[in-house]
Amino acid sequence: MAGFEVRMCNSQKGKGLFATKEFLPGDVILEEEPLVSCQFAHNAAYRYLACDHCMRPLETPEQNVRRLSAKQDIILPHSNCFETDLLNITSCNQCGILYCSQECKEISYATYHRSLCYIQSEVMHPISVLVETWKQIHYPPETTNIMLVVRLLAYIQQHDDPALAAENVKQFCHRTINEDAELVHKLLGEKFSDQLNTLREMTANVIRGEYIDEFLNPEGFSSLMALVGTNGQGIGTSPLALWVNSVSQLTMSDDERQQLDVFIDKIYQYVEEESGQFLNTEGSGLYQLQSACNHSCAPNAESSFPYGNHRIQLKAIRNIKPGDEIHISYLDDCTLQRSRHSRQRELSENYLFVCCCERCMSQSNEPDCTSDEEMSDDDLDD
């Protein structure tokens, strides 16, 4: 028994994920592999070494820190608490793309890579041109990658039943044309109309076919871009972040903990100065079940990547009873702590809905001002 089901909620929210049994805090609700996933374009350009399929790091935390900080003498304490198996790294026989294992190599080739394999040094190859164009349009902090769209199309093309795979993708694309346009505008910026057409034409140069051409017309492509912009789940597999999480679980004295915290802060400072803020989220993926989770500003579940790859885990963080809807937060922890008006504005701009969760409804009498405005008022009072 899975312990959950996907069903319709209401006309505003559409589908939702509901519990069919009780979950206690810490219980695993589900684990899921993505339909497709990929590393961010700028992230890859900064030489973040990761498996091209599952995004498992292909270097140890210490190697990662030394490269990103340009400080070869850094030694990470307690590095033995992070298990890293780099013995199984392999590569595509044709293009040389790296994988963490033979299994990832075979899954990738069978799912999408067969259609997309090319020599990476060919700067005029349609994929190289598309990725470079994308990097000029979508600057960091990155939220998605045009290659997620390309891999999705290749997934359809290589599927044993392409018609079924196309329908599988369409179930994600349920927004209106106007909503798609607004979301893509947010993703690409003020010149989104011209940029969208350029990306569409370049994507068509990479891959075409009977069952994917409908996604390459203006309406279909806009829906795909809106899909990866809103349903794309950020994937965090940074070796440094995984090491930090590991050492935070160790038992040590208060003095040792304080020294370690100072050391970690300094490490992040070195890396940011040298390589920028490309630390915790290396890419994004499309998850069929997890994407059914609607937002709440008082979530009862949260997603994580405990295996250091793109396999997602959804855990309960509060008691969930049979029949309860399972909610996650679409906002980061910092934004989640802000005022109702600030949260509503962020959700409206990025996801095109007004949040009516229990927390927002209980705060409906709050003044309509942002947290920044509240802070300014506090400063004035001082």
Higher pLDDT, 276 or 278: 276
Unique residue bearing structure tokens 């969760």: 357
Any idea which of 40-49, 182-191, 313-322 has the lowest mean pLDDT?
182-191
Unique residue bearing structure tokens 């990832």: 104
How far apart are alpha carbons 52 and 237 in whole angstroms? 12
Higher pLDDT, 116 or 171: 116
Number of structural domains, the chain?
2
Looking only at the bridges linking them, the beta strands covering 283-286 and 36-39 are: antiparallel
Two structure tokens written together for 371:
């947290």
Residue 374 included in any domain: no
pLDDT in tens, 259-273: 999 999 999 899 888
What average pLDDT does the segment 205-210 reach?
A: 95
Q: Are residues 335 and 356 in the same domain?
A: yes
The pLDDT of residue 177: 60
Q: Are residues 64 and 89 in the same domain?
A: yes
Range of the domain at 75: 36-234
DSSP type of residue 113: I
Unique residue bearing structure tokens 């044309």: 177
- Is the pLDDT at 369 greater than 70, yes or no? no
How far apart are alpha carbons 95 and 70 in whole angstroms? 28
pLDDT in tens, 278-322: 555 589 999 989 888 888 899 999 999 888 899 999 999 999 999
Q: Residue 341 sits in a domain of what CATH number?
A: 2.170.270.10
SS3 assignment, position 10: strand
Domain boundary among 234, 264, 296: 234
Unique residue bearing structure tokens 């990306």: 199
Q: Are residues 28 and 47 in the same domain?
A: no
Residue 178 included in any domain: yes
**What pLDDT band is residue 20 in, cutting at 50, 70 and 90?**
very high
Mean pLDDT value across the chain: 85
The pLDDT of residue 376: 46
**What pLDDT band is residue 100 in, cutting at 50, 70 and 90?**
very high
